[in-house]
A and B are shown apart, each in its own frame.
Chain A
Amino acid sequence: MISGATVPLHSTLSILARGPIGAAKHFAVFLLEKIGLSYRALFPHRIDTPPITGSPIFSETTDVNELRAYVRAPRRFEHLITEASERYRRKRSEIATKAYDL
């Protein structure tokens, strides 16, 4: 299990368990995230393409043409380093499922 990936950012107990400096840093990151979100709400990225949905493609290709095509394609693409372990693939699948609400 990847500990950091499963600890909710806003779990009060987990924050307090980090001690005063850890908690202060956590608060700073929380603050920076909120500042970033507020700034982007005021000045949003211009989106001139329709929203992309659907299941992602997973690939560990290093072929430049294939990779360019995946990166630019109007669909979700999850790139993995070469010779990734089975555990890493599973973890990445979990991360994508959570992020894309699949």
Chain B
Amino acid sequence: MRPTIILATSNGIGMGHLARATAIGEALKDRAHPIIVSMASAVAEIPSATGIPAEYIPGRDRGLMPRQKWDRYLRDRILALVEETGATILTFDGVVPYPGVLAAKLAKPDLTLVWIRRGLWQKKPQRFVLGLQSRIMDYVVEPGDYAREYDHGPTSKRKEAKLVAPVSLYRSERALEKSAARKILGLDPDRPAVLVQLGTGDADVNHKMTAALRGLLGWKDVQVVLTKDPKDKAGNSLAPDGLDLKVVRYFPLADLLHAFDAGICAAGYNGVHELPAAGVPTVFVSNIRGTDDQETRARWCADYGCALMANQADLADIETTVRKLQNPELRKSLSDKCARFLRQLAQPKSQIFFSLFLNHIAQRK
């Protein structure tokens, strides 16, 4: 009998947690019944795109209830879903396992709790409770990171985690070739296309978006593809005049990455394990918020020649570095390096390992 496995994720910054859960869920489909529960609004994309059942749980930051009540609400939601589906394993992908997740484990001790904890942490206050949180887990699994050799953060020396290869939604055998991908996105097949995946919101983040887009000015006939409208909270455009912008929604976008001649992206776990893996010449602009050490991840990519890194604190450098992407020889050189170093690492062996591992512990119960 195939076990039911609940893959829970926090909200977080970007799509990293949810993308990993989706990749693992896809690999589990043949061996188990995966269910994704998430506080990320992008969970809305999961059921129709993947066929994996999913539930949205409003995060504590939505302010729907007093903070003190939220952990009990989360615990009760998890326990209700466990009882409804007969799930035997709960994985949690997030930096901080919420007390509500841990309380669900305590209320139902036979539920196996697995913490999927990526590395490359900055030294933030969360590190002080790492030991305590890890002890409550049945297993801790660390999805590998291309930049792991540069990881000197709080999780790098810990012993409890089982390290696996990087987890990525990009799979070369599933990704569409350029013309088919462009057709789906509605892009001109003969003009260059650049993917921009940078956040918007606070003023400094908005300025980085504007600087990056400025770097694309002058690129003849370029089509600029964004995953969200480049506007500030007041609705003012962050894009300079003269660019042909297109906002797209597609999940998983990893399947369509061959549509792009270049990318500009935050150096989150997803971006680094998808764009270079697909051979897309990329400029990484780190987002320094949260625990994720994006600066280090971006530096590793730049040191190995797989991508360019812009100084996130210097708007002029962001513009100048992005402008370099207009050079076709540089783009070819970056693509070649990606092919040589990274492509084989992004194959779904890690997802399969996860799948086998979770299935194995389910059978032991």
Contact = CB atoms under 8 A, between A and B. Distances in A.
Contact of A81 (B53, B68, B69): B53
B107 A31 contact: no
Interface stretch (B58-66, B163-171, B346-354): B58-66
Given A36-B96, A81-B81, A29 B63 contact: no
Interface in B132-189: 132-133, 135-136
Interface residues on chain A, size class: 35 or more
Interface of B is mostly: helix
Contacts of B79: 2, 4-5
Nearest to B128: A35
B205 interface: no
Interface stretch (B40-48, B287-295, B316-324): B40-48
A13 B21 CA distance: 37
B72 A9 contact: yes
A84 B132 contact: no
A81 B75 contact: no
Interface residues on chain B, size class: 35 or more
Contacts, number: 131
Contact of A35 (B67, B83, B129, B135): B129
B129 A2 contact: no
Contacts of A68: 41, 44
24 contacts: A2-B79, A4-B103, A4-B108, A5-B76, A9-B103, A18-B106, A26-B106, A28-B102, A29-B102, A36-B98, A36-B99, A37-B68, A39-B125, A62-B48, A64-B48, A67-B44, A68-B41, A76-B58, A76-B64, A81-B55, A81-B84, A88-B83, A91-B84, A99-B69
Given A5-B79, A45-B61, A52-B62, 4 more contacts: A36-B96, A77-B56, A79-B57, A99-B65
Interface of A: 2-5, 7, 9, 18, 22, 25-26, 28-33, 35-37, 39-40, 45, 47-49, 51-52, 62-64, 67-68, 70-72, 76-77, 79-82, 84-85, 87-88, 91-92, 95, 98-101
